[in-house]
Amino acid sequence: MTLVLDETKAPAAQANETCTLENYLALPDHSMDGRIREARERLGAAAVILGHHYQRDEVVRFADFTGDSYKLAKTAAATSAKYIVFCGVHFMAESADILAREGQQVILPDLNAGCSMADMAEIGQVEDCWDVLTRLHLSDEFVPVTYINSTAAIKAFCGERGGLVCTSSSARAALQWGFARGKRILFLPDQHLGRNTGHAMGIPLEEMAVWDPWAIQGGQTKERLAASRMLLWKGHCAVHQRFLPIHVDQVRAKYPDIRVIVHPECRYEVCQKADALGSTEQLIALVEQAPEGSMFAIGTEIHLVNRLARRFAAEGKKIITLDDTGCLCTTMYRISPQHLAWALENLVEGRVVNRVQVKAEVKHWARVALDRMIETGSRQ
In this model, does residue 14 exceed pLDDT 80? no
CATH no., domain 118-237+362-378: 3.40.50.10800
Q: Nearest CA to 47 among 351, 337, 274, 325?
A: 351
- The predicted pLDDT at position 171 comes to 96
| pLDDT tens readout for residues 188-238 | 999 999 999 999 999 999 999 999 999 999 999 999 999 999 999 999 999
pLDDT at 185 over 80: yes
Rounded distance, CA 269 to CA 175, Å? 21
Averaged over 40-47, what is the pLDDT? 96
d(CA 43, CA 117): 34
Confidence of residue 325 (pLDDT cuts 50, 70, 90): confident
Alpha carbon of residue 166 to chain centroid: 11
Laid out side by side, the sheet with 83-87 consists of: 65-67, 47-52, 83-87, 105-107
- The 3-class SS string of 20-62 reads CHHHHHCCCHHHHHHHHHHHHHHHHHHEEEEEECCCCHHHHCC
**Residue 331 confidence (pLDDT):** 83
Q: Chain-wide mean pLDDT for the chain? A: 91
Evaluate if residue 7 carries a pLDDT over 90.
no
pLDDT band at 27 (very low <50, low <70, confident <90, very high): confident
The CATH class of 240-321 is: alpha beta
**Backbone torsion region of residue 159, taken as left when φ is above 0, otherwise alpha when ψ lies between -120 and 50, otherwise beta:** alpha
Mean pLDDT (whole number) for 276-300: 96
Give per-residue pLDDT as tens, 60-105. 999 999 988 889 999 999 999 999 999 999 999 999 999 999 999 9
- Specify whether the CB–CB gap between 357 and 90 falls below 8 A: no
CATH of 11-113+332-349 given 1.20.1440.130, 3.90.1150.10, 3.40.47.10, 3.40.50.10800? 3.40.50.10800
pLDDT at 22 (0 to 100): 83
Report d(CA 300, CA 297) in Å as an integer: 9
Asked whether the predicted pLDDT for residue 10 surpasses 60, the reply is no
Tens digits of residue pLDDT in 259-268: 999 999 999 9
Percent of the chain with pLDDT over 90: 83
CATH code 3.40.50.10800 region(s) in the chain: 11-113+332-349, 118-237+362-378, 240-321
Look at residues 54, 171, 209 and name the one whose alpha carbon lies nearest to residue 116: 54
pLDDT of 167-176, one tens digit each? 999 999 999 9
Helix spans in the chain (H): 11-15, 21-25, 33-43, 57-60, 69-77, 90-99, 116-119, 123-135, 152-160, 171-179, 191-200, 222-226, 245-254, 268-273, 280-289, 302-311, 337-348, 360-378
Residue 379: the pLDDT is 44
- pLDDT category at 19 given cuts 50, 70, 90 is low
